[in-house]
Amino acid sequence: MRRFEHYFIAVNKWALVLLLSAMAVIVFANVSLRYLTNFSITWAEEVARYLMVWMTFIGAGLALRTGGHVAIGNFQEMLDPGAQRVVRGLILCLLLAFFAIMIWMGKDYMDRMRFQVTPATRISFSYIYAAMPIGFALLIVHLLLIARSFVLENRFAEIAATAPVPAASGD
């Protein structure tokens, strides 16, 4: 399971790096061309915006696993340790339910938008809106990977997933 988690996080991080790099190159090229040649890439702003949407949904899971999202802990801190675990378990269940609903709603919205196309690139909006169900599915995987430590110890995962993975034992 640790090996899966390591590779899952690494792939997730590299996807973000590639999306951000592509966005930076597109925006830089467009700004450079605009000021140097008075020519602008017609699709640059649109593609950069959609890359940002994808980065938001894909990156949400990494933020979740490290406790990077907004949380109100005052109520939880007033409770005894046993009640805190119950509250965290309830939070976990509510998050899983919310993420599942958002996958379903995102898939539905994606299906409804499949015949509409983006103005500049003329690609189907379903490719843009696919970020929502994919992002929430990734959130579920990230949440399940940290569920035990979150509920029992109120501990989030470490940010560094680039540490070497121990070799599998021959057992």
Q: Please indicate, yes or no, if residue 163 is contained in any of the structural domains.
A: no
Mean pLDDT along residues 42-70: 94
* Each residue's pLDDT tens digit, 95-122: 999 999 999 999 999 999 999 999 999 9
Mean pLDDT along residues 4-10: 95
Taking the model in full, what pTM does it have?
0.85
Q: Please indicate, yes or no, if residue 168 is contained in any of the structural domains.
A: no
- Closest by Cα among 111, 159, 170 to 12: 159
Collapse the DSSP code of 117 into the 3-class scheme (helix H, G, I; strand E, B; otherwise coil) and give the result.
Answer: strand
Q: Please indicate, yes or no, if residue 89 is contained in any of the structural domains.
A: yes
Q: Please indicate, yes or no, if residue 167 is contained in any of the structural domains.
A: no
Q: Please indicate, yes or no, if residue 60 is contained in any of the structural domains.
A: yes
Q: Please indicate, yes or no, if residue 97 is contained in any of the structural domains.
A: yes
Range of the domain at 49: 2-68+75-153
- Calculate ∠ Cα 45-53-39, nearest 5°: 10
Residue 142 and residue 156 in contact, taking contact as beta carbons nearer than 8 Å? no
Collapse the DSSP code of 124 into the 3-class scheme (helix H, G, I; strand E, B; otherwise coil) and give the result.
Answer: strand
**pLDDT surpassing 50 at residue 71:** yes
* Each residue's pLDDT tens digit, 134-159: 999 999 999 999 999 888 887 776 65
Q: Please indicate, yes or no, if residue 147 is contained in any of the structural domains.
A: yes
Q: Give the chain's domain count.
A: 1
**pLDDT surpassing 70 at residue 166:** no
Q: Please indicate, yes or no, if residue 170 is contained in any of the structural domains.
A: no
